[in-house]
Structure 1
Amino acid sequence: MRSPNPLSRREFVKAAGLAAGAAGLVLPSAVQAAPARDPNAVLAELLEGNRRFVNGQLIHPGRSPKDFLALAEGQAPLAVIVGCADSRVAPELIFDQGVGDLFVVRAAGNVVSGAGPIVKGSIEFAVAELGARLIIVLGHSQCGAVKAAIQHIDANDVLPGSIGDLIDPIRVAVNAVKGRPGDKLENVTRANVEKGVERLKGLDPILSKYVKAGELKVVGATYELHTGLVKVYE
């Protein structure tokens, strides 16, 4: 979907970057001044990209240094993806997006609560400084971190190094689905995503302000490894 502005955000950024390069100027503020995008339109655009990915009809199949040239002096990403560090889940690929379209923050288990200021600050930066108005907390099927959380929390054992600290934030999701019918791994995966969405919507002082003003959309979703489909939670 396209913005009603004469230039889409992506086209504006590209034009600004090329113009700056041609003039020998550094214009990060101009690049960041790309028109604001409706978060619902951005979400629809990402889901359309996912459909292209599933159907093998990618329009962003490869990358080379020239693809980065237009954005060398600044960025204006369409959305923030808070995803898992899993090697099988690359947001730019599964949403078929180009260079500069996604601001991606990844940690095993797509953890938000308990992830510390580095993760939350990165997300806040993308919204407050780069103008992103859509955040997707993206879980995925067969998540190793969620599996480990279920296994080791149930066993009440101790994990070495910092792995226990990594798993501990998912404990809330594991406890939240106790007694719930259905597949436990799927239930915990979704609960973990929903906890992340809830945390970001209420994250003061930056994200909560934009959410309350109706300017920022935060949604949860799951990527299915077997099909390639992304399912957004209502």
Structure 2
Amino acid sequence: MTSYQQIFENNQKWVAEHSANAPDFFTQLASSQAPDYLYIGCSDSRVTAEELMGVAPGEVFVHRNIANMVVNNDLNSLSVLEYAVRHLHVKHIVVCGHYGCGGVKAAMQPKDLGILNPWLRNIRDVYRLHHAELDAIADIDARYDRLVELNVQEQCVNVLKSAVVQEQYLLHKIPVVHGWVFDLRTGLLKDLKLDYEHILHNIQQIYDLSDEVTQARNEKKEPSPAAEITEAAEGPKVA
């Protein structure tokens, strides 16, 4: 286990290495950020966005919480989403779960976990929505893995429900939304390649939340962003 003091020694080595390779590295880093990616992941200490994606500082805007949730009353995640989409103009939004997620596992158990209960209830709602499929999986580990995937799917849907994503797509044709799972057992990322054609077609009338989007669509005679996602070449695309 890395000691507290070792962290500062590591930091100094990191600064020296980057400065040697690119003398203006920290000047450039301090000047601005223009990431193409918003990454919404789990707080698990084993799952670090930049490392598993192989990207440098400044390339990904990161939000992490227990079980990679996008909850409609969580001002933290919604503020990150708003800033990343409206001000940073990210081109991709990634919701990344991981197999072996403690939050998902806890939500599968009928236990009182105190202050965690309201948060985990959101994952239990995912279980409720998909209980027929999940309960048909006899192997508990396979059921656990599948709930991880379904939780990513539902959080991607929550991203697409947001007005800011719909607005920015109508105006700029971005962002694209992706659902991933990181496999701790292999180190590999899995693109779920989720098919939202049926799902979003069913919810578009309910979750077209922006009057601005509706007005612009009527003026331009364009379909809603949620409807456009159902087309192979349109979006916000979900990979």
Measured against the shorter chain, the TM-score band is 0.5 to 0.7
Q: CA deviation at 1:98?
A: 0.4
Tell me how far 1:179 sits from its aligned partner. Answer: 2.7
Instruction: Name which of 167, 192, 212 aligns with 1:233.
Output: 192
One-letter amino acid of the counterpart of residue 226, structure 1: R
**Aligned: 1:134 with 2:92:** yes
Partner of residue 173 from structure 1, selected from 109, 126, 133: 126
Question: Do residues 95 (structure 1) and 53 (structure 2) align?
Answer: yes
- CA 1:115–1:229 in structure 2 vs 1: closer, same or farther (change >3 Å)? farther
**Corresponding residue for 1:207?**
165
Q: Aligned residue for 1:159?
A: 113
Q: Residues of 2 paired with 1:89 and 1:111: CA distance?
A: 15
Whichever residue aligns with residue 165 of structure 1, its letter is P
Measured in 2, the distance between the counterparts of 1:68 and 1:89 equals 25
How far the C-alpha of 1:207 sits from its partner, in A, is 1.0
User: In 1, are the aligned partners of 2:72 and 2:78 still within 8 Å (CA)?
Assistant: no
The residue matched to 1:209 in structure 2 has which SS?
helix
Where in structure 1 are there 5+ consecutive unaligned residues? Answer: 1-61
Letter in 2 for 1:85: S
How high is the sequence identity, in percent, across the aligned residues? 28
Higher RCO structure, 1 or 2 (CA under 8 Å, sep 6+): 1
Q: How far, CA to CA, are the matches of 2:34 and 2:73 in structure 1?
A: 25
Q: 8 Å contact 1:114–1:169 — kept in the other structure?
A: no
Deviation string 1:83-127 (CA, Å, 9 cap, x unpaired) is 000000001000110010010000010010246121111122011
Distance 2:125 2:186 in 1: 28
The separation in 1 between residues aligned to 2:105 and 2:91, in whole angstroms, is 31
Matched residue count = 167
> Letter of the aligned partner of 2:128 in structure 1?
N
Q: How does 1:211-222 map to 2 (within 5 A)?
A: 211-212=169-170, 214-222=173-181
Q: Map residues 41-52 of structure 1 onto 2, 5 A cutoff.
A: none
Q: Root-mean-square deviation (CA), in Å? A: 1.8
Distance in structure 1 (CA, Å) of the matches to 2:14 and 2:83 = 25
| Distance in 1 of aligned mates of 2:170 and 2:129 | 26
TM-score (norm. length: structure 2)? 0.65
Match of 1:113 among 48, 59, 71: 71
Q: Which of the pair has more CA radius of gyration?
A: 2
- 8 Å contact from structure 2 (residues 71, 77) kept in 1: no
